[in-house]
Amino acid sequence: MSPTEPPLPDAGALLTVRGLRKAFGRHEVLKSIDMDVTRGEVVTLIGPSGSGKTTVLRCLNGLEIPDAGIVEFSGELSIDFSKPVSKKQLAALRDRSAMVFQHYNLFPHKTVLENVIEGPVQVQKRPKAEAIREARELLARVGLADKENSYPFELSGGQQQRVGIVRALALRPQLLLFDEPTSALDPELVGDVLTVIKELADEGWTMVVVTHELAFARQVADEVIFMDGGVVVERGHPDTVLRAPREERTRQFVDRLLNPF
Amino acid sequence: MGAITGTIPLALASFFLGLLLALLVALLRLSRNPVLAAVARIYVSVIRGTPLLVQLFVIFYGLPSVGITIDPWPSAIIAFSLNVGGYAAEIIRAAILSVPKGQWEAGHTIGMSRRQSLVRIILPQAARVSVPPLSNTFISLVKDTSLASLILVTELFRQAQQVAAFSQEFMLLYLEAAVIYWIICLVLAGGQSALEKRLDRYVAH
């Protein structure tokens, strides 16, 4: 398998989420979220800040532990969070997906190449030579072949985020999670990163993307989910949700993003 | 002579033992176990809240009255290690907390356990931050070892006292001792700069 190809490209449900709930203290951030992601599909989560979209993503990667709800990966892994969850289950959940962070979160004390091979070598115990070969292939794909020995501080934000994407890909996850991957970037650097994500989508990677980039959502997403106040307000094909939303709240949100003033 | 056979080994041994202890105490203070965290907090509080000389005397002159007699050298190393452990624990704890939470999360998302993230991601970054304050601790320690003269450890200062008592050259000998302490500290400060430079290679200037 080439590292640049997504695993298991055959169709079928990859992820099923039912009744996902999460509260921080008294504040209910997620009030029963349902979600289905088919293999090879791109789902984008949009919504105002505080709507819970990032929390959904973090729950899928085990960065937050939901209070209740069922998360299921293609039938083989099913976790019911209303019951006690073992460390082993959480590790299994986390290993299905890889997160790309808004602020990249690259390891500053490691070079670009070291950042990328850290997971494959240290965690997945893959042979180092193979991990390096794959890492180089992936870095070349995103236009960073000549940066493997740079430290993150020597790179632009757009370059750092592309390393963040490669670091996630190198783990060969079934699902890629993007948490506002371009929100921290200077406007002129956004395009490079979105292009990379779009190419991955075209190749058939399954992904859930939290974003404010509506043009990106319209072009790339198979489904758009609009969240507000911890619930899904509306979901559907991007042409519907973004151009002719059924719900008033969706329409207001989309209008405001398209016409900020 | 007293510097080479007394002060320097005493400072080195105490510093590295103290550093190990400090790392352990810092991790206990950050642990989710409230009992362990409380024990660590009390230890730090006692060490920082009592004079080093008193700690030294309790171990050397106090413990024999409860049946524990320790020789001067081990007593000194125990006291100084415990002391460094208390101060350095706070430095290390702060350094660990100074590493952004996103680094733990990045470790998590690539599949690392908390321990792996700590060792491979967090501590290397915390080390960089803690070099300047830990160097301070080390330099203080070098000078504090002179207190060991009061529990009969023949280090630099005690030797100076002995020679001065014999020759009556107090000014000369105490100044000489001062200069030797200063030179040791200059060397340490040089080492600190070199280490800082090395660890700074991955941050923007």
Q: pLDDT tens for residues B80-115?
A: 999 999 999 999 999 999 999 999 999 999 999 999
Nearest to B144 by CA among B74, B194, B44, B76: B76
Pick left, alpha or beta for residue A110 (phi over 0 → left; psi -120 to 50 → alpha; otherwise beta).
beta
Is residue A198 within 8 Å of A219, Cβ to Cβ?
yes
User: What per-residue confidence (pLDDT) applies to A1?
Assistant: 41
Q: Which of B103, B108, B201 sits opposite A107 (nearest CB)?
A: B103
A window 48-77, beta carbon within 8 A of B: 61-63
Q: Regarding predicted confidence, which is higher, B117 or A8?
A: B117
B window 105-164, beta carbon within 8 A of A: 105-106, 108-112, 116, 120-121, 124-125, 128
Interface touch A63/B106, C-beta < 8 Å:
no
User: What per-residue confidence (pLDDT) applies to B201?
Assistant: 83
Q: What DSSP assignment string belongs to B120-189?
A: IIIHHHHHHHHHHHHHHHHHHHHHHGGGGGGGT---HHHHHHHHHHHH--HHHHHHHHHHHHHHHHHHHH
Looking at residue A44, the DSSP 8-state letter turns out to be E
Helix axes B72-98, B8-30, angle to 10 degrees: 40
Three-state SS for A170? coil
Angle at CA of residue A99, ends A93 and A105, nearest 5°:
130
Angle at CA of residue A223, ends A220 and A224, nearest 5°:
90
- β-pairing verdict for A223-228 and A207-210: unpaired
CA A70 to chain CA mean position, Å: 19
Nearest CA in chain A to B198: A109
User: What per-residue confidence (pLDDT) applies to A137?
Assistant: 96
Q: How confident is residue A7, by pLDDT bands cut at 50, 70 and 90?
A: low
pLDDT at A76 over 90: no
Is residue B104 within 8 Å of B119, Cβ to Cβ?
no
Is residue A46 within 8 Å of A214, Cβ to Cβ?
yes
Q: How confident is residue A259, by pLDDT bands cut at 50, 70 and 90?
A: confident
Residues of A in contact with B128 (CB under 8 A): 109
Is residue B22 within 8 Å of B89, Cβ to Cβ?
yes
| The two three-digit tokens of residue B149, written as one number | 């003269």
pLDDT at A3 over 60: no
Give me the mean pLDDT over the A105-129 stretch: 96
User: What per-residue confidence (pLDDT) applies to A176?
Assistant: 97
Reduced DSSP (H G I as helix, E B as strand, rest coil) percent helix, strand, coil of chain B, to 5:
85, 0, 15
Looking at residue A7, the DSSP 8-state letter turns out to be S
Interface touch B201/A151, C-beta < 8 Å:
yes
Q: Tokens 């060969």, residue? A: A172
Q: Which of B102, B112, B120 sits opposite A101 (nearest CB)?
A: B102
pLDDT at A4 over 80: no
Interface touch A94/B125, C-beta < 8 Å:
no
CA A177 to chain CA mean position, Å: 1
Residues of A in contact with B99 (CB under 8 A): none
Reported as a single tens digit per residue, the pLDDT across A198-234 is 999 999 999 999 999 999 999 999 999 999 999 999 9
Residues of B in contact with A153 (CB under 8 A): 202-204
Q: Model pTM?
A: 0.89
Q: Which of B111, B202, B204 sits opposite A119 (nearest CB)?
A: B111
Residues of A in contact with B111 (CB under 8 A): 91, 94-95, 119, 123-124, 171
Low pLDDT (below 50) residues in chain B: none
User: What per-residue confidence (pLDDT) applies to A6?
Assistant: 61
Interface touch A109/B116, C-beta < 8 Å:
no
Measure the CA–CA gap between A6 and A257, rounded to whole angstroms. Answer: 32
User: What per-residue confidence (pLDDT) applies to B205?
Assistant: 62
CA-based R_g, chain A, Å: 18
Residue B126 has a CB neighbour count (10 Å cut-off) of 21
User: What per-residue confidence (pLDDT) applies to B116?
Assistant: 96
Angle at CA of residue A206, ends A163 and A202, nearest 5°:
80
Cross-sheet strand order for the sheet of A231-236 = A97-100, A175-179, A207-210, A42-46, A223-228, A231-236
User: What per-residue confidence (pLDDT) applies to A83?
Assistant: 92
Which one-letter amino acid corresponds to residue B169?
A: E
Partner B contacted by A131 (CB < 8 A): no
Interface test with B, best of A60, A122, A161 (most B CBs within 10 A): A122
